[in-house]
Structure 1
Amino acid sequence: MKPRAVQAIEECWCLALPMKHYRPLLLNDTLLLRKLCVTLSHKNYRNIVSLTQNQSFPLVNRLAAFILLSQEGDLYHEKHTQAAEYLGVSYRHLLYVLAQFINDGLLIKSKKGYLIKKQKAVVRTGAGDGPGA
């Protein structure tokens, strides 16, 4: 199994177990497996509901909300391919809307990513009150 990169949206605890040692014990624990299945199915259901609701909003609004969610200080620097996949749009469409944000003065492109120039305007857009609403 390949290692996976995990990014937390908020502060959390991460528990790592040496799987070589604990795998047989964990796979034979029916209570743990049931709890994992129930938890994952609830999470999957919430994601499907959220995705269905989000797809009804224009990309302008969804991208603004995503920028606010993933910003570090005043800088947004997510990989375009990952952002496009997360938002369910093409890479080209994502770049088009980012260029629109730059032209509208919301973002400034830099070597490290995008500087959020007008935070309040991005917040309004993410809430559906700005461009594209």
Structure 2
Amino acid sequence: CLEFDINELRKLCKEDAKVSFYFASYIADKLLVRSYRMSESLNYSLDIRLASFVLQHQQKGIYNIPHTDVSEYMNVSYRHVLYVIKKFCELGILTK
């Protein structure tokens, strides 16, 4: 989330094209990431998304991000994340 004084930003952007380019690039990147995540959540099941997330965020085979953070990031309920993690453990994909 960004918060800035719009009048001050306008002034900076008019004075320096690099500032304008930086903000435009930053916002475009944020929108692309958000768009990708939204399409990912619409096209793939939580099982696939969670498996991918765990692989991306593990360090030396250890994954330790709080389930509440994961559920918020993936826009699903905490219980749904727990259910899928339990299923992964039962299948031998993850161990506690």
Return the TM-score normalized by structure 1.
0.57
The one of the two structures with greater contact order (alpha-carbon pairs below 8 A, sep at least 6) is 1
- Tell me which residue corresponds to 1:77: 64
- Tell me which residue corresponds to 1:44: 30
Q: Which runs of 5+ in 1 are unaligned?
A: 1-26, 110-133
Per the alignment, in what secondary structure is the counterpart of residue 65 of structure 2?
coil
Q: 2: distance between equivalents of 1:46 and 1:78?
A: 24
How many pairs are equivalent? 83
Q: 2: distance between equivalents of 1:43 and 1:77?
A: 27
Match of 1:105 among 80, 92, 96: 92
Match of 2:75 among 81, 88, 91: 88
Q: 2: distance between equivalents of 1:80 and 1:105?
A: 19
Q: 1: distance between equivalents of 2:94 and 2:81?
A: 14
Question: Structure 1 residue runs of 4+, over 2 Å off?
Answer: 27-33
| Larger fraction in helix | 2
Identity of paired residues, percent?
Answer: 29
RMSD across aligned positions (CA): 1.7
Q: Which runs of 5+ in 2 are unaligned?
A: 1-10
Q: CA deviation at 1:58?
A: 0.3
* Superposed counterparts of 1:1-133, under 5 Å: 28=12, 30-55=16-41, 56-109=43-96
| Larger fraction in strand | 1
